[in-house]
Amino acid sequence: MMKLEDIAKLAGVSHSTVSRALAGSTLVNRATRERIEAIANDHGYQVNQVARNLKLQHTNTIGLIAPELSNPYYPKLIQCIADYVSAAGYSLQLHLSGKNQENEDKSLVNLRNNRVDGILLVTGEHGLMAAEYAAGLHKSGIPIVLMGWFPGADAFDFVTGDDADGARQIARHLLDLGHKNIAVIGKPVHRGPFDRTTAFINEIAQGGVVIDAANLYEITSEQDAILAVKQLLQTEPRPTAIFAYQDSIALVVCKELQAAGIRVPDDISVIGFDDLDMASYVSPALTTVGCHIDAMAKALVQRLTERITGETAAAEPVGVVVPTRLITRQSSGPAHDISS
């Protein structure tokens, strides 16, 4: 592949001059520059970024670590991130951790070795992250912005949706609809101040209704939701509403309910969280909470690029919380009468 030196020979100048010319420096004569540009163009010269990166001590590359792509939430987020990253003039190095802590670690050192300028870490819901881990992460010296919150995340810049508020909106919605017997199918609590389940239960309590412990289902995979539903259908009196931790669970729940002959929302209301595209396609269309994914992605890369360029003077990590909103569709309705 053609290099600076080759062009220099062709143009009868030194490689320094070629470098300057191609960079558009005013330090080189206009005529010379144009001649060099023409030659470089004719021969399809393309700068060797890796040499350039070595000299310049940066790579114009941002590393992105995300759990997976099979939950549609992530592609949506990554799409936005990719767009903002590329708009900011960076390339994206993508690593999928598969919700696996070890992989995440490997990706992190890989990214560091490759001297990416900054890292976006989407931790997902695996909750494996710990303060200790965070500390190790921290001294890598590379700017990192976290998507989501976990214990210890406060040591970093982070961006998260206001899931707690979203959960509260759902709670009020259900309360307004007259529901008094409500089930929660959720994942283990790990998001502290932003935890959906916790906020939901608290707000429900605020409305004067308590959720029976038996109606709290804690699952770790979408598949487990099926079991939860089966179990739930046995309880007496049967709940009139179900709050699912996320849309992907809510979808399974609806499907299972319908398979059992239960009508949604006539018999049981179901509410999800995330506002996946799919949520509006299924029938009944899912009532859920939307996350302004685009806004989050924007905040994420904005924060990171500011850290990279040093625009953000503050040494203090900052967290940005983007609002969520309830999206009422067909899967939620008034509580039906029950002969208690």
Partner DNA sequence: CACACCATTGCAATCGATTGCAATGCAGAT
Partner DNA sequence: ATCTGCATTGCAATCGATTGCAATGGTGTG
Minimum Å gap between C-beta 172 and DNA is: 56
What residues line the site for its own copies (CB under 8 A)? Answer: 1, 44, 46-51, 53-54, 59, 61, 68-70, 72, 74-76, 78-79, 82-83, 86, 91-96, 98, 109-110, 112-115, 139, 141, 251, 255, 258, 277-278, 281-283
Name the residue nearer to its own copies (CB basis): 110 or 312: 110
Minimum Å gap between C-beta 10 and DNA is: 12
Sign, CA torsion 38/40/44/50: negative
Cα end-to-end distance, the chain, whole Å: 80
Nearest-5° Cα angle at 80, 171 to 134? 75
Minimum Å gap between C-beta 258 and its own copies is: 8
* 161 bridge partner residues: 322
CB neighbours of 196 closer than 8 A, spacing ≥ 6? 163, 164, 166, 167, 186, 245, 273
Minimum Å gap between C-beta 75 and its own copies is: 4
101 sits near DNA (criterion: CB under 7 A): no
Give the separation between CA 237 and CA 339, rounded to whole angstroms: 9
Name the residue nearer to its own copies (CB basis): 111 or 174: 111
Long-range Cβ contact pairs of 51-59 (< 8 A, separation 24 or more): 53/115, 57/115, 58/115, 58/117, 59/91, 59/114, 59/115, 59/116, 59/117
Q: What's phi and psi for 321, nearest 5 deg?
A: -115, 115
- Stretch (H or E) spanning 34: helix 30-42
The interface with DNA within residues 34-73 (CB under 7 A) comprises 47-48, 51-52, 54-57
19 sits near DNA (criterion: CB under 7 A): yes
Minimum Å gap between C-beta 36 and DNA is: 9
Long-range Cβ contact pairs of 257-266 (< 8 A, separation 24 or more): 257/229, 260/229, 260/233, 262/233, 264/331, 265/330, 265/331, 265/332, 265/333, 266/333, 266/336
Minimum Å gap between C-beta 288 and its own copies is: 15
**Which partner from the list DNA, its own copies, none does 251 bind, CB cut-off 5 to 8 Å by kind?**
its own copies
Minimum Å gap between C-beta 154 and DNA is: 31
**Which partner from the list its own copies, DNA, none does 28 bind, CB cut-off 5 to 8 Å by kind?**
DNA
**Which partner from the list DNA, its own copies, none does 283 bind, CB cut-off 5 to 8 Å by kind?**
its own copies
**Which partner from the list DNA, its own copies, none does 30 bind, CB cut-off 5 to 8 Å by kind?**
DNA
Minimum Å gap between C-beta 78 and DNA is: 30
12 sits near DNA (criterion: CB under 7 A): yes
**Which partner from the list its own copies, DNA, none does 259 bind, CB cut-off 5 to 8 Å by kind?**
none
CB neighbours of 207 closer than 8 A, spacing ≥ 6? 171, 172, 175
**Which partner from the list its own copies, DNA, none does 15 bind, CB cut-off 5 to 8 Å by kind?**
DNA
- Stretch (H or E) spanning 205: helix 196-206
27 sits near DNA (criterion: CB under 7 A): yes
276 sits near DNA (criterion: CB under 7 A): no
Residue 335 CA, chain-centre distance (Å), reads: 34
**Which partner from the list DNA, its own copies, none does 79 bind, CB cut-off 5 to 8 Å by kind?**
its own copies
Size of the site for DNA (CB under 7 A): 28
Instruction: Provide the 10 A C-beta neighbour count for residue 120.
Output: 27
